Amino acid sequence: MDDHQFRRLLDHLGLSWTGYRKVRKGVKKRVSRHMLALNCSNMAGYLHEIDKSKEALDECERLMTVSISRFFRDKKLWDLLSDEMLPGLIEQHPEKILVWSAGCACGEEVYSLKILWDALEPSDARLPELDITATDMNPTTLERARNGIYPASSLKEVPEELRARYFHPEDGGKDFRIKESLKKGLHWRAHNLLAGTLESQFQIIFMRNNLLTYYHDEKKRVALKNVLRCLGAGGFLIIGSHETLPSEVSELHDYGSLSYIFQKQESAGSSTFSASG
């Protein structure tokens, strides 16, 4: 599959060449295998097949997902969460804090938050319950997240003290298994951000390095509206450090020193985008 054919597929699915350009090699290999399995000798035949078969389309969309991540990716974010954002939320929500990892891939982000939470030392009261919903449209990566086994390369930013406390080496240290107790309070769900909303009002939504990178603007807007309906007033939306929101969003404002963290206004109404959006 050459780049012209691949770009034709991206356009058909409403996906961004800019987002996929650096990761296209592996994606093209997966899609090419799918084309062979469907006896499609060219892109025209493949597009026809995924248009007529929901099963084929679902598999194609699964194969287009990218799951590159690692623990504690972007140290500045995790420092701000630990020092400022989480203590503030604990004070405001003493019973329960709801978090959504939207596009959780293999779960490194989810378990990073659990490690950070477990390391917090409450001064004079117990910590609230931390309830995390982790969603991805790829069931294969969700299963890997549930299992919680990672290559050593995924842990390169984990301090040695935390690695010893929260991971068990396997296969001679080539892989590491997450501590079983960190799986408590996690809910793994298959979910497409374009398909609709979840039922909760979350205090934190992670939406890093997925739809804002890989989708065309119109699909970004649709998915972002779905996501923001699930963000509670005063809650935080965290996107990728190199991502930007697709249009002016009326109910979010910048938070802190990092340009990719936004807070929903306490008095926000039902509108998601401003008139210019």
Q: Output the domain CATH number for residue 178.
A: 3.40.50.150
Q: Token digits for 256?
A: 């802190």
Same domain, 171 and 108: yes
DSSP run (H or E) holding 263: strand 261-264
Which of 14, 29, 63 is the last residue before a domain boundary?
A: 63
Cα dihedral value 128, 133, 134, 140, nearest 10? 130
Which of 63, 91, 106 is the last residue before a domain boundary?
A: 63
Spatial neighbors of 246 by CB under 8 A, at least 6 apart, are 212, 217, 220, 221, 224
**Dist CA 182 CA 42 (whole Å):** 46
**How far is residue 254 CA from its own chain's centroid?**
20
Same domain, 214 and 118: yes
Cα dihedral value 59, 240, 117, 252, nearest 10? -110
The total number of structural domains that make up the chain? 2
Facing residues of 158 across strands?
Answer: none
With both helix axes pointing from N to C terminus, report the angle between 24-37 and 43-52 in degrees, rounded to the nearest 10: 70
Nearest to 244 by CA among 209, 193, 277: 209
Q: State which residues form the domain around 49.
A: 3-63
Question: Is 272 inside any structural domain?
Answer: no
Same domain, 42 and 95: no
Question: Is 259 inside any structural domain?
Answer: yes
Same domain, 102 and 31: no
Nearest to 103 by CA among 61, 132, 64, 134: 134
Same domain, 59 and 79: no
Same domain, 129 and 93: yes
Which of 13, 35, 63 is the last residue before a domain boundary?
A: 63
State pLDDT tens for residues 63-120.
Answer: 888 876 789 999 999 999 999 999 999 999 999 999 999 999 899 999 999 999 998 8
Torsion-angle region of 147 (φ positive above 0: left; ψ -120 to 50: alpha; else: beta): alpha
Whether 249 and 228 have beta carbons less than 8 Å apart is answered as yes
Determine how β-strand 129-136 pairs with β-strand 96-102: parallel
Question: Is 69 inside any structural domain?
Answer: no
Question: Is 151 inside any structural domain?
Answer: yes
Same domain, 88 and 220: yes
State pLDDT tens for residues 4-56.
Answer: 999 999 999 988 888 888 888 989 999 999 999 999 999 999 999 999 999 99
Question: Is 273 inside any structural domain?
Answer: no
Q: What is the DSSP letter of 240?
A: -
**How far is residue 209 CA from its own chain's centroid?**
7
User: What is the pTM assigned to this prediction?
Assistant: 0.85
Question: Is 155 inside any structural domain?
Answer: yes
Question: Is 70 inside any structural domain?
Answer: no
Q: Token digits for 232?
A: 């509670």
Same domain, 48 and 131: no
Please say if the pLDDT value at position 248 is more than 80. no
Whether 73 and 175 have beta carbons less than 8 Å apart is answered as no
Same domain, 12 and 134: no
DSSP run (H or E) holding 177: strand 175-178
**Dist CA 231 CA 228 (whole Å):** 5
Question: Is 116 inside any structural domain?
Answer: yes
State pLDDT tens for residues 49-61.
Answer: 999 999 999 899 8
Q: What is the DSSP letter of 124?
A: S
Same domain, 90 and 156: yes
Same domain, 118 and 250: yes
State pLDDT tens for residues 111-129.
Answer: 999 999 998 866 556 889 9
Same domain, 174 and 241: yes
